[in-house]
Amino acid sequence: MKIDSFILENWLNPACDSEKNEIYLGGSCVLPLTFEELFQLTGESMESFIEELKTMNLGYGRFDGTPRTRRAIANIYKNVAPEEVALVHGGTGANNNVINTLVEPGDTVVSIVPTYQQFCSIPESLGAKVIRVQLNPEDGYSLSMEELKDAVKDGCKAIFLTNPNNPTGALLSLDEMNEMVEIAKEAGCWIVCDEMYRGLKEEYMYSFADIYDKAIVTCSSSKMYSMAGLRVGWIICHDDETRWQLFNRRSYDSICGGVFDEWLFAMGLEHADKLYERDRKIIYENRAIVDEWLKTQKYLHQYAEPYGTTYFIHYDLDVDSEKFCDDLLDKKGVLLSQGDAFDVPHTFRLSIAHAENLKEGLRRIGEYIDELAAERE
């Protein structure tokens, strides 16, 4: 099976390790927690944890996932039971598992774009036809339900999307989600939603798992939970037979999760309200800084109100995004995510979540853009 180069990961990961990377604004996870901060935030006893750690069995964990972890995950949804949660290795592992379980050669699937590349390249590598439905940037990266209806009318196995959207941060309202469900029901297809960025709003953010029996949703310990290094991912599926197939696929890939990772993440997630409060504070403060900066940048445009951890910014300069970001890193020491990785030219993704020295980074980006514009006058 041949598959396209994973553009974002294959470009960004080496750049992260570059000595030129002085200010990292290319990530999407909220500032990672330290071990000590996790215990301070949750109020759990580190001494008790260490005592329990001494006798932890380092053999295989539960093949269906640690019960405590599955309960903690189910509790952040309105309509999910612990037995409907499948634990896997990270968010990319969750998406990969679902796509490989559902999609077969000759299938037709719909992917709402821009999106994370997995939802286009993996189905295509499996021999499926991928119909891309474009979000409209001029209308805040909104989704046309008429275009979606047209895309699924001739037979569709699944609709793939990210919500909040990666990279734009655009969020479907509950009414829009319900309209999508009606379209999917009429077509008889699955809705597969990557919800890695769910949790930023103060009020409850609905999941497709709350409202549709044929929804499969994925999420992980990264992004809004600030524990990407634990590599805990999960899949929620209401259908018993399909969930067995997901577990079967997971057995081929990794057998079970890491007992330490699942245990530690469960402890944190049992205090999800405190994690959200901490991460929202970081994001809201950084968003205010970026909003003020954007007002001073005549070549830059931000179309969507972001409900994720990044801004997706368009620029009015005749240079492709990979070169734009390569030169920015080379000349100014600032690392962004290039928009070509999301198949949107003349864009970049800017972190508002894992952003040390944000103001200085923005100053350097503005300086670079001014120099670039002067060269082209």
Query: For the chain, what is the radius of gyration of the CA atoms?
Result: 21
Least confident piece of the model among 161-165, 221-225, 355-359: 355-359
- CA 154 – CA 59 distance, rounded (Å): 49
Residue 70 lies in a domain: yes
Q: How confident is the model at residue 354 (pLDDT cuts 50, 70, 90)?
A: confident
- CA 279 – CA 68 distance, rounded (Å): 23
User: pLDDT, tens digit, for every residue of 299-313?
Assistant: 999 999 999 999 999
CATH of the domain at 190: 3.40.640.10
Q: Are residues 114 and 194 in the same domain?
A: yes
Q: Can you spell out the DSSP letters for 144-208?
A: -HHHHHHHHTT--SEEEEESS-TTT-----HHHHHHHHHHHHHHT-EEEEE-TTTT-SSS----H
pLDDT at position 276 over 70? yes
pLDDT at position 90 over 70? yes
Q: Are residues 158 and 135 in the same domain?
A: yes
The percentage of the chain sitting over the pLDDT mark of 90, rounded to a whole number, equals: 95
- CA 60 – CA 66 distance, rounded (Å): 11
- CA 113 – CA 120 distance, rounded (Å): 9
Question: 260: domain range?
Answer: 58-270
Q: Are residues 259 and 287 in the same domain?
A: no
Q: What pTM does this model have?
A: 0.96
User: What mean pLDDT is reported for the chain?
Assistant: 96
Structure tokens at 312: 């997706």
Average pLDDT over residues 220-227: 96
Residue 360 lies in a domain: yes
- Other Cβ atoms closer than 10 A to 21: 16
pLDDT at position 103, please? Answer: 98
Residue 46 lies in a domain: no
pLDDT at position 356, please? Answer: 75
Q: Can you spell out the DSSP letters for 336-354?
A: -EEGGGGT-SSEEEEESSS
User: pLDDT, tens digit, for every residue of 181-211?
Assistant: 999 999 999 999 999 999 999 999 999 999 9
Q: 24 φ, ψ to 5°? A: -95, 110
Q: Are residues 218 and 195 in the same domain?
A: yes
Strand, coil or helix: 313: strand
pLDDT at position 282, please? Answer: 95
Residue 43 lies in a domain: no
Average pLDDT over residues 96-119: 98
Which whole-number Å values give the CA distances from 49 to 66, 85, 86, 263, 267, in the listed order? 17, 25, 25, 10, 10
- The DSSP code for 24 is E
Q: How confident is the model at residue 249 (pLDDT cuts 50, 70, 90)?
A: very high
Q: How confident is the model at residue 338 (pLDDT cuts 50, 70, 90)?
A: very high
Q: How many alpha carbons lie under 13 Å from residue 242 in its C-beta half-sphere?
A: 21
Residue 80 lies in a domain: yes
Q: Are residues 195 and 231 in the same domain?
A: yes
pLDDT at position 375, please? Answer: 87
- CA 25 – CA 67 distance, rounded (Å): 36
Strands 232-237 and 215-220: antiparallel
What residues contact residue 38 under an 8 Å CB cut-off, 6+ apart? 44, 227, 264, 267, 268
pLDDT at position 64, please? Answer: 87
3-state helix, strand and coil shares in percent for the chain, rounded to the nearest 5 = 45, 15, 35
Report the candidate in 236, 226, 156 with the shortest Cα–Cα distance to residue 195. Answer: 236
Q: Can you spell out the DSSP letters for 16-77?
A: HTSTT--EE----S-SPPPHHHHHHHH---HHHHHHHHHT---S---TT--HHHHHHHHTTS
Residue 337, beta-bridge partner list: 349
pLDDT at position 106, please? Answer: 97
Residue 292 lies in a domain: yes
Buried b (16+ CB within 10 A) or exposed e, 130-149: bbebebebeeebbbeeeebb
pLDDT at position 355 over 70? no
Q: Are residues 175 and 216 in the same domain?
A: yes
- CA 161 – CA 130 distance, rounded (Å): 12
Q: 348 φ, ψ to 5°? A: -145, 155
Q: Are residues 219 and 346 in the same domain?
A: no
Report the candidate in 67, 13, 69, 7 with the shortest Cα–Cα distance to residue 227. Answer: 69
Q: Are residues 256 and 172 in the same domain?
A: yes
pLDDT at position 105, please? Answer: 97
Residue 47 lies in a domain: no
Q: Are residues 134 and 278 in the same domain?
A: no
Q: Are residues 136 and 220 in the same domain?
A: yes
Residue 51 lies in a domain: no
Q: Are residues 246 and 365 in the same domain?
A: no
- CA 334 – CA 16 distance, rounded (Å): 10
CATH of the domain at 288: 3.90.1150.10
- The DSSP code for 230 is G
Structure tokens at 251: 């057995």
Count of domains forming the chain:
2
Q: Is 357 exposed, middle or buried (0-12, 13-18, 19+ CB in 10 A)?
A: middle
Q: Are residues 98 and 209 in the same domain?
A: yes
- Please say which residue of 270, 299, 330 terminates a domain: 270
Average pLDDT over residues 92-96: 97
Residue 129, beta-bridge partner list: 108
- Please say which residue of 213, 238, 270 terminates a domain: 270
- Please say which residue of 235, 270, 305 terminates a domain: 270
Average pLDDT over residues 357-364: 96
